[in-house]
């Protein structure tokens, strides 16, 4: 027997409808690419998102057609979030930090039909537009008078012209909540990037659970600054949960230096900010140098890579800001765990609390976790046993777009590639971050990609890339190289060889020449052993 309740699909359009109706005067503030501050309301977001939807209809885009963005965090990007997904198309947020070749490959793989980009990224689009064979429409996210006359990009229009011509009346369609809403490619560790394809249902459930008090605790009393880019797994879902709760949204645009971020927090009375450790490190340095203090900031969520204890201490003890350590993945929409305390922790000393805060946190409602040993047996939650971490839940992928990489699930569980412990209270701690990937300033660098370029050099017999601790970027890659007999190769020659073949931040910081790279029984490189061999190594300048 079915219940007798109203049937409403969980759709992303309902978020902006709710925000307009219940929080119409709620503010959305953006630092624009031009450097100035733009300020409007959720009512304006909703109005212009409807114009986006009409503009897409005008282009005769079909249901589930992909609309790509290359954009910073800002109000036009937000309008695309709701206009694209709300009208039944799929929002594809491209990562502008990738190499243009990778971006072109990804746009083709996704079969993007429209590409909307910030003017900062005009050089990238100029370089790749002729290779993006499925893209029929290019939209520059700017006013008409900022549009370059000689871009060479066929049919390029300004966003303001494009949506300005449209009616602001539009009835959001209703459809199956399991329909695709947006997608995000993960760099991965092997082979080509693979995409997570999110659904309206997964996005809505993620936004609900992500806004709970034990997750990011979003309310209409908050002023929220997502420093984490909207091209990184939808800025951890903050654009959605902010609209759901009517929280004020503050977008930093491209200005993510410590001074700009601090000033924005102060001028917009930000109460809650989200970002990777590198960004906070820059901001804390700026504050320390100037003897500055926060007047409004209460909480900050830190994820993307493990948060250094000194940073948690600085926020908590020096600035009185609660740090929420968090963990997730592109494949998880991304929120998996958030480190909020339980009732039992409240009477503890701050030293004892710090031990809890250093962990990646508890699974938010909807995410289940387990750790298994090499034979697949579940390990106890004792805070000591560590094993491969697996997760399941309604906002975790079942497979990648176009079935790339085969079926990733193991008995319905997604293997995260991380090794972790879980304590009796459910707090997870990653002990061995995913084996080989290098996490540099919130970005993942595929060690295999770095190795493949070195291996293409005629003088290289074998190359292994590993991450080395770095005070600012968390980790930086170095490449260990075994030369071919009779060949000469210098550090400088090999580093020069990388130029133009990958994004600059993916070029290793150093080259270490070795006589041999340790191999295991099946011929695979044993990076653990390599790390042991290089345990006394120091990064240049680190």
Our finding on whether 214 is near a second copy (CB under 8 A) is yes
State which of residues 57, 101, 322, 425 lies at the interface with a second copy (CB under 8 A). 425
Characterise 109 by phi-psi region: left (phi > 0), alpha (psi -120 to 50), beta (else): alpha
Per the annotation, the verdict on 381 as an active-site residue is: no
Our finding on whether 349 is near a second copy (CB under 8 A) is no
For a second copy, the binding residues in 282-321 under the rule CB under 8 A are: none
Stretch of 24-32, 69-77, 312-320, 458-466 contacting a second copy, by CB under 8 A: 24-32
Our finding on whether 412 is near a second copy (CB under 8 A) is yes
- DSSP alpha helix (H) spans, 246-346: 258-267, 277-290, 309-313
Q: What are phi and psi of 345, to 5 degrees?
A: -85, -20
Our finding on whether 378 is near a second copy (CB under 8 A) is no
Per the annotation, the verdict on 439 as an active-site residue is: yes
Question: What b-and-e string marks burial along 339-375, b requiring 16 or more CB atoms within 10 Å of the CB?
Answer: bbbeeeeeeeeeeebbebbbbbbbbbebbebebbeee
State which of residues 13, 113, 340, 502 lies at the interface with a second copy (CB under 8 A). 340
Q: Which DSSP symbol is given to 147?
A: S
State which of residues 1, 171, 411, 536 lies at the interface with a second copy (CB under 8 A). 1
Our finding on whether 161 is near a second copy (CB under 8 A) is no
State which of residues 57, 399, 419, 533 lies at the interface with a second copy (CB under 8 A). 399
For 342, half-sphere exposure in the C-beta direction (CA atoms, 13 angstrom radius) is: 10
Our finding on whether 424 is near a second copy (CB under 8 A) is yes
- Closest approach of a second copy to the CB of residue 390, in Å: 12
State which of residues 137, 362, 433, 470 lies at the interface with a second copy (CB under 8 A). 362
For a second copy, the binding residues in 223-262 under the rule CB under 8 A are: 223, 244-248
The answer to whether 68 and 84 have CB atoms below 8 angstroms apart is no
Our finding on whether 350 is near a second copy (CB under 8 A) is no
| Residue of 186, 245, 271, 340 marked catalytic | 186
State which of residues 122, 157, 212, 255 lies at the interface with a second copy (CB under 8 A). 212
Give the distance, in angstroms, between the CA of residue 14 and the centroid of all CA atoms in the same chain.
24
Find all residues with CB under 8 Å of 171, minimum gap 6, and list them.
none
Our finding on whether 167 is near a second copy (CB under 8 A) is no
User: Do you find a cis peptide bond into 334, omega within 30 degrees of 0?
Assistant: yes
The answer to whether 177 and 196 have CB atoms below 8 angstroms apart is no
Rounded to whole angstroms, how far apart are CA atoms 111 and 479? 34
Rounded to whole angstroms, how far apart are CA atoms 95 and 142? 19
State which of residues 34, 36, 58, 176 lies at the interface with a second copy (CB under 8 A). 176
| Residue of 160, 444, 473, 475 marked catalytic | 444
Question: Of 88, 72, 90, 198, which is closest to residue 142 (Cα–Cα)?
Answer: 72
Our finding on whether 209 is near a second copy (CB under 8 A) is yes
| Residue of 359, 439, 483, 527 marked catalytic | 439
Stretch of 98-106, 156-164, 388-396, 441-449 contacting a second copy, by CB under 8 A: 388-396
**Helices 491-498 and 447-455 meet at what angle, rounded to 10?**
110
* C-beta neighbour count of 214 within 10 angstroms: 17
Our finding on whether 174 is near a second copy (CB under 8 A) is no
User: Given strand 66-70, what is the order of strands in its sheet?
Assistant: 90-93, 66-70, 112-117, 137-140, 157-158
Question: Of 156, 196, 163, which is closest to residue 180 (Cα–Cα)?
Answer: 196
Q: Which residue has the tokens 């980009």?
A: 117
Rounded to whole angstroms, how far apart are CA atoms 132 and 55? 21
- Closest approach of a second copy to the CB of residue 238, in Å: 14
State which of residues 35, 64, 130, 490 lies at the interface with a second copy (CB under 8 A). 64
Q: Decide whether 184 or 464 has the Cβ nearer to a second copy.
A: 184
Q: Decide whether 46 or 140 has the Cβ nearer to a second copy.
A: 46
The answer to whether 13 and 86 have CB atoms below 8 angstroms apart is yes
Number of residues located near a second copy, criterion CB under 8 A? 78
For a second copy, the binding residues in 82-141 under the rule CB under 8 A are: 90
Q: Decide whether 364 or 454 has the Cβ nearer to a second copy.
A: 364
Per the annotation, the verdict on 331 as an active-site residue is: yes
Our finding on whether 407 is near a second copy (CB under 8 A) is no
State which of residues 368, 373, 382, 432 lies at the interface with a second copy (CB under 8 A). 368
State which of residues 130, 174, 398, 490 lies at the interface with a second copy (CB under 8 A). 398
Rounded to whole angstroms, how far apart are CA atoms 333 and 325? 17
Q: What are phi and psi of 148, to 5 degrees?
A: -70, 135
Our finding on whether 23 is near a second copy (CB under 8 A) is yes
State which of residues 28, 218, 233, 335 lies at the interface with a second copy (CB under 8 A). 218
Give the distance, in angstroms, between the CA of residue 284 and the centroid of all CA atoms in the same chain.
22
The answer to whether 226 and 77 have CB atoms below 8 angstroms apart is no
Our finding on whether 2 is near a second copy (CB under 8 A) is yes
State which of residues 394, 405, 415, 518 lies at the interface with a second copy (CB under 8 A). 394
The answer to whether 208 and 237 have CB atoms below 8 angstroms apart is no
Q: Decide whether 96 or 363 has the Cβ nearer to a second copy.
A: 363
- Closest approach of a second copy to the CB of residue 52, in Å: 20
State which of residues 383, 415, 426, 518 lies at the interface with a second copy (CB under 8 A). 426
- Closest approach of a second copy to the CB of residue 56, in Å: 16
Give the distance, in angstroms, between the CA of residue 27 and the centroid of all CA atoms in the same chain.
24
Our finding on whether 219 is near a second copy (CB under 8 A) is yes
Q: Decide whether 84 or 466 has the Cβ nearer to a second copy.
A: 84
Our finding on whether 379 is near a second copy (CB under 8 A) is no
Per the annotation, the verdict on 337 as an active-site residue is: no
Which residues are the active-site residues?
186, 331, 439, 444
């Amino acid at each position: 027997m079915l219940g007798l309740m109203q049937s409403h699909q969980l759709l992303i359009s309902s978020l902006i409808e709710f925000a307009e109706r219940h929080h119409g005067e709620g503010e959305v503030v953006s630092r624009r690419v031009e450097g100035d501050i733009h300020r409007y309301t959720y009512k304006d977001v909703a109005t212009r998102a409807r114009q986006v939807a009409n503009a897409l209809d005008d282009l005769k885009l079909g249901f589930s057609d992909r609309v790509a963005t290359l954009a910073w965090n800002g109000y036009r990007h937000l309008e695309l979030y709701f206009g694209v997904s709300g009208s039944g198309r799929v929002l594809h947020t491209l990562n502008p930090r990738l190499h243009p070749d990778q971006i072109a490959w990804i746009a083709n793989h996704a079969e993007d039909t429209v590409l909307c980009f910030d003017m900062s990224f005009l050089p990238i689009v100029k370089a790749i537009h002729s290779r993006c064979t499925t893209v029929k429409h290019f939209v520059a996210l700017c006013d008409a008078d900022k549009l370059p006359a000689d871009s060479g990009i066929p049919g390029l229009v300004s966003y303001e012209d494009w949506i300005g011509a449209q009616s602001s009346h539009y009835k959001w369609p209703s459809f199956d909540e399991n329909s695709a809403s947006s997608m995000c490619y993960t760099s991965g560790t092997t082979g080509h990037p693979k995409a997570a394809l999110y659904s309206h249902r997964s996005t809505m459930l993620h936004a609900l659970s992500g806004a709970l008090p034990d997750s990011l605790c979003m309310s209409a009393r908050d002023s929220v600054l997502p420093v984490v880019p909207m091209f990184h797994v939808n800025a951890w879902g903050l654009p959605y949960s902010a609209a759901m709760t009517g929280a004020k949204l503050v977008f930093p645009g491209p200005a993510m230096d410590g001074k700009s971020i601090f000033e924005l927090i102060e001028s917009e009375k930000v109460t809650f900010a989200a970002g990777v450790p590198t960004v906070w490190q820059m901001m804390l340095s700026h504050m320390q140098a100037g003897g500055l203090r926060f007047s409004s900031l209460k909480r900050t969520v830190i994820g993307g890579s493990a948060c250094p204890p000194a940073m948690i201490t600085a926020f908590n003890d020096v600035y009185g800001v609660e740090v929420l350590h968090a963990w997730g993945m592109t494949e998880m929409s991304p929120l998996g765990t958030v480190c909020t305390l339980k009732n039992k922790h409240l009477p503890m000393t701050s030293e004892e609390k710090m031990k809890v805060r250093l962990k990646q946190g508890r699974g938010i409602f909807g995410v289940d976790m387990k750790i298994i040993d090499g034979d697949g047996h579940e390990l106890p939650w004792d805070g000591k046993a560590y094993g491969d971490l697996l997760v399941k839940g309604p906002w975790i992928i079942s497979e990648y777009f176009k079935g790339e990489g085969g079926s990733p699930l193991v008995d319905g569980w997604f293997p995260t590639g991380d090794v972790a412990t879980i304590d009796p209270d459910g707090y997870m701690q990653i002990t061995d971050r995913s084996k080989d990937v290098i996490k540099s300033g919130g970005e993942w660098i595929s060690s295999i990609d770095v190795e493949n370029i070195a291996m293409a050099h005629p003088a290289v017999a074998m190359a292994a890339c590993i991450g080395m601790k770095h005070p600012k970027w968390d980790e930086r890659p170095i490449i260990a190289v075994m030369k071919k007999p009779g060949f000469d190769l210098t550090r400088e020659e090999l580093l020069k060889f990388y130029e133009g073949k990958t994004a600059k931040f993916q070029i290793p910081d150093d080259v270490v020449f070795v006589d041999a790279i340790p191999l295991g029984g099946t011929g695979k490189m044993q990076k653990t052993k390599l790390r042991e061999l290089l345990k006394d190594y120091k990064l240049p300048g680190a």
